[in-house]
Structure 1
Amino acid sequence: MHILITNDDGPPSDQSSPYVHSLVSTLQSAGHTVSVVLPHTQRSWIGKAHLVGKSLQPTYFRPGALRLPNGRFANSGTTSTRPLPASSSAEEWILVDSTPASCVQIGLYHYFSARGPVDVVVSGPNYGRNTTAVFSLSSGTVGGAMEAAVCGAKAIALSYAFFDRNHDPDIIAGASALAARLIQHLVDHWDARTQLYSVNVPLVEDVGRNKILYTDVLQNRWKSGSCFQVLDVPDEEDGEDEAPGEAEAQIRKAEEQMGKKEAPGAGADSERDASSTTGQQPHVRYTHTHFKWAPHFKDVYESVEQSEPGNDGWAVAQGYTSVTPLRANFMHTGGFEGEIKLE
């Protein structure tokens, strides 16, 4: 089977992309042909976006050994601005300075034709869960699979749900072994009504012994107000933004708190200064401020705790693997037809 891999976490990295090398190696060991096109850097929470007007430039990643002598995953490799010569047999992945959705387009149509048609696109494994509507609607992992689906390809969004960030290599290897078997099963038994599957594998010991369940997406929402924290404006506004890696580490730390009584990331409420004048539109004066993405993960885990069994969030919380069949569209609400006449 020819499998195209992308993700939204970028090339292998202990900090932001600790799982993709394990999955690729496991699929290759199972006899599959694996082609890899990844964003050149972390692109989480970007959905199915493309960077309009940007000329994309690939670089080339050569993965190192998967495991070190001590058994830990290495997550290492080298990057070059030019591909290896045609005579080389070394493994090489493509990195694109864009989004998961763009990586899918480039992988499907601009590389790998010599390897034959792509049988399935796997977007992931994501560093963290993509359960519930709040996560799924913004997920670059799901967005990559959506892009593949609207290109007519079979697609699977794969996420590894961690409960702590101590990356036990044996637990990761177990998740990848299960994921490889499940990918094969889904492709072999693809449901004609389904355009993509969202799969969440919990990073727990012996996950292959646990149940694999078909689930619905838990329909939740942000309830605690803005997901942006108000920041003081520095005297000089020529400072650099927080490095993507640092922001990513803070989000992962917050996500790790899911299931606990308190979760970091609560944003401060912004002040509103408004005056009202009877009979006319008030003039609004804005307070100049900055904002930082700081989602309320408490909203998500509380929605899972309060939900009935059967949804994706509930399944992962039990240590089960969730498989959610999806359509790659915004389904309209039924029951509306005819002309709208304004009063």
Structure 2
Amino acid sequence: MHILVTNDDGPPSNQSSPYVHTLISQLQSAGHTVSVVLPHVQRSWIGKAHMVGQAITPTYYRPGAVRRDSTGALNNQGTTSKTPLAGTIREGEEGDDEPHQDEWVLIDSTPASCVQIGLHHFFESRGPIDLVVSGPNYGRNTTACFSLSSGTLGGAMEAAVCGKRAIALSYAFFDKNHDPEIVAGASRISVKIIENLAANWKPDVHVYTVNVPLVEGVEQKKVLWTRMLQNTWTSGSCFQEVEVPDEGEKVAEDADKAEVEIRESEEGEAPTSMNGKKPKAFRYKHKHFKWAPKITDVYESVERGGPGSDGWVVKEKDISVTPLRANFMHVDGFEGELKL
């Protein structure tokens, strides 16, 4: 198969994108042609957004060999260039700078935009794209609360509305020990799942969202069909008030660091007019905010929901596969004229 891979975590990084290179290597080892377009930086929680009014500029990433560093973690010493390798339009021709050097495309936009650009603008000489894989995400994408905001799901949904089969892949971790052998095992079983779904694709399915737990023996875990748990944020705002900086001071939080912290964590109404009197003007206190979702809301909803959901299966450290359609499904029972 010719597989287009994207993600929402950006190019390989031990901090926020530690899995993508391993998956791509496993797909290539299984004999698939893999084309890669990733956001150039962390783009989690962005859904299926596109950046309007912005010219997108690609850069080109050349992955290095995956080696263990002094801590035992896998490390990818890749390089980035503003221009592509010469001669790579038709790979392997005489005159190529590096005929066997992989090169990925990075764009300064969203996962959904990566899919559009990957499908239509870079890989024509490699033949039609058979499947889009978005991920592996750094952390689970189970339940509606996570999935409706997920850039990983957003990339897969964009592929679906372009008429392509798509799989959103996420790796759920339970501690900070991202053992390279466990990650490799998760990628091996993911390739088997991807191949099985592609070979037996159900006509009514647009997207499969797959969640693989990063646990020992993951390749022997059960792979279960699930439904997505419908849940809500119940603990109030998903934003946290932060200190307002001094005038002229610009504060920009590192997106990679913020995503790691999220994944590893667990005034009255305005007055209204009465008796024809004009209400006193409302005044606001100046505040700043940061995204800080209450992850425990998701875990508690999974416990309340019981067996059968995607969240429950991953909690039990099995592999969840959820079939989805790329639309907002209507609710039955509403027909005819709406009488006002």
TM range (shorter): over 0.9
Distance 1:278 1:107 in 2: 57
The answer for the alignment partner of 2:79 in structure 1 is 78
- Residue 101 of structure 1 aligns to which amino acid in structure 2? A
The answer for the alignment partner of 2:332 in structure 1 is 334
The answer for the alignment partner of 1:15 in structure 2 is 15
Distance 2:147 2:140 in 1: 9
Deviates more, 1:287-296 or 1:60-69: 60-69
CA offsets, 1:90-143, max 9 Å, x none? 110000000000000000001111111111000000000000000000000000
1:165 CA displacement = 2.2
The answer for the alignment partner of 1:151 in structure 2 is 162
The answer for the alignment partner of 1:34 in structure 2 is 34
Does the 8 Å contact 1:213/1:322 carry over to 2?
yes
1:246 CA displacement = 2.6
The answer for the alignment partner of 1:64 in structure 2 is 64
Indicate the percent of aligned positions where both proteins have the same amino acid: 64
Does the 8 Å contact 1:273/1:284 carry over to 2?
no
Does the 8 Å contact 2:69/2:75 carry over to 1?
no
1:55 CA displacement = 0.3
Distance 1:116 1:281 in 2: 67
The answer for the alignment partner of 2:212 in structure 1 is 201
- Residue 77 of structure 2 aligns to which amino acid in structure 1? S
Number of residue-to-residue matches in the alignment? 327
Segments of 4+ moved more than 4 angstroms: 272-278
Does the 8 Å contact 1:275/1:284 carry over to 2?
yes
Does the 8 Å contact 1:216/1:312 carry over to 2?
yes
Question: How large is the Cα RMSD of the aligned pairs?
Answer: 1.5
Gaps of 5+ in 1: 255-262, 264-270
1:285 CA displacement = 1.3
Deviates more, 1:274-283 or 1:85-94: 274-283
Does the 8 Å contact 1:130/1:200 carry over to 2?
yes
CA offsets, 1:247-295, max 9 Å, x none? 22321221xxxxxxxx3xxxxxxx4485677434633111111111111
Q: Secondary structure at the match of 1:330?
A: coil
CA offsets, 1:214-257, max 9 Å, x none? 00000100001111112232332532221222322321221xxx
Does the 8 Å contact 2:241/2:289 carry over to 1?
yes
Task: For 1:167-182, list aligned pairs within 5 A.
Answer: 167-182=178-193
Match of 2:320 among 299, 319, 322: 322
The answer for the alignment partner of 1:295 in structure 2 is 293
- Residue 44 of structure 2 aligns to which amino acid in structure 1? S
Match of 2:240 among 226, 229, 233: 229
Q: Secondary structure at the match of 1:117?
A: coil
Does the 8 Å contact 2:3/2:32 carry over to 1?
yes
Does the 8 Å contact 1:64/1:74 carry over to 2?
no
Task: For 1:185-196, list aligned pairs within 5 A.
Answer: 185-196=196-207
CA gap 1:154/1:226 in 2 versus in 1, 3 angstroms: same
Distance 1:315 1:91 in 2: 36
Deviates more, 1:129-138 or 1:289-298: 289-298
The answer for the alignment partner of 1:259 in structure 2 is none
Does the 8 Å contact 1:10/1:17 carry over to 2?
yes
Distance 1:276 1:331 in 2: 36
